[in-house]
């Protein structure tokens, strides 16, 4: 029995379990989840490897449909607001971007692969123009002529609020789980710096046994979400679902849980 099952059984048993015992199990779960990070701690993917995957069409991470958890939690992302500027880190050619734009919001994305960006516009039959980004050598920005969609082709860490200001919403599907584990603190600092005061940040993470699959996508335990963002943000776990499929079985893992978090800046 794993720690999460132990905690669940202790929580629902008809017997009265001493509080200290529950606390001990919870601490054990936390230690176990954080210790599991060691299996992927030294894993490094170079930017060129991601570009190579796009060139060779090895993009199993791309979803040819709107993300179901985004559809279910879109009201949490926008909270009744209109005309929100939504940031998509490591956006690829996600269909989610056009869907959000079709809702009347504006979209800004960052992606290293120029091929992915061009495919996004072409596959969605959107006219676009491209311009250099003088502040980032070699970078380009692609802008839709029909929808309010702006995609930067550059290293994510070269991007900052100086380009598009701060964002009222962030949809992070496949970004935190894709960056090198050793870069997560740098990533969290960047994301926090891009959040407007009223920003609502939806973060999608995975739980699985990292000893069976080296990633990416990488394991991101809930405890690490709190250690990365908890000082600056209030964090709510909106949903936890069993997302295990044959695709994940092919990775060699025997379970995969997908967690949806909502992060908002603390008022102080």
Domain definitions of the chain by residue range = 45-265
Query: Strands 257-265, 233-242: parallel, antiparallel or unpaired by DSSP?
Result: antiparallel
CA distances from 172 to 32, 43, 81 (A): 25, 21, 19
Mapped onto helix, strand or coil, the DSSP state of residue 19 is: helix
pLDDT one-digit tens code per residue, 226-248: 999 999 999 999 999 999 999 99
- Residue numbers in the chain where pLDDT is lower than 50: 1-29
**Count of C-beta atoms within a 10 Å radius of residue 82:** 8
Question: What is the pTM (predicted TM-score) of this model?
Answer: 0.86
pLDDT one-digit tens code per residue, 39-88: 999 888 888 888 888 788 777 776 889 999 999 999 999 999 999 999 99
Could you confirm whether domain 45-265 is CATH 3.30.413.10?
no
CA separation for the pair 134, 89 (Å, rounded): 20
Please report the pLDDT score of residue 36 as a whole number: 84
For residue 142, what are the β-bridge partners?
130, 151
Please report the pLDDT score of residue 128 as a whole number: 97
């Amino acid at each position: 029995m794993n720690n999460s099952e132990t905690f669940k059984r202790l929580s629902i048993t008809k017997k009265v379990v001493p509080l200290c015992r529950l606390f001990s199990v919870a601490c054990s779960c936390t230690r176990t989840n954080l210790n599991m990070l060691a299996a992927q701690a030294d894993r490094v993917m170079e930017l060129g490897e991601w570009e190579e995957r796009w060139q060779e069409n090895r993009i199993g991470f791309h979803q040819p449909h709107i993300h179901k958890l985004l559809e279910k939690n879109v009201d949490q992302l926008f909270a009744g607001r209109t005309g929100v500027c939504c940031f998509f880190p490591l956006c690829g050619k996600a269909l989610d971007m056009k869907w959000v734009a079709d809702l009347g919001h504006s979209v800004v994305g960052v992606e290293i692969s120029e091929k992915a960006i061009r495919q996004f516009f072409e596959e969605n039959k959107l006219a676009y123009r491209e311009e250099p980004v003088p502040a980032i050598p070699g970078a380009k920005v692609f802008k839709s002529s029909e929808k309010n969609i702006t995609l930067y082709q550059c290293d994510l860490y070269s991007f900052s609020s100086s380009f598009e200001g701060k964002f009222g919403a962030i949809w992070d599907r496949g970004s935190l789980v894709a960056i090198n584990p050793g870069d997560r603190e740098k990533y969290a600092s960047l994301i926090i710096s891009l959040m407007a005061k009223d920003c609502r940040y939806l973060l999608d993470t995975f739980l699985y046994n990292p000893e069976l699959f080296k990633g990416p996508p990488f394991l991101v335990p809930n405890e690490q979400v709190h250690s990365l963002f908890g000082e600056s943000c209030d964090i709510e776990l909106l949903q936890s679902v069993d997302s295990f499929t044959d695709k994940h079985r092919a990775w060699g893992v025997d379970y995969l849980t997908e967690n949806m978090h909502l992060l908002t800046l603390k008022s102080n």
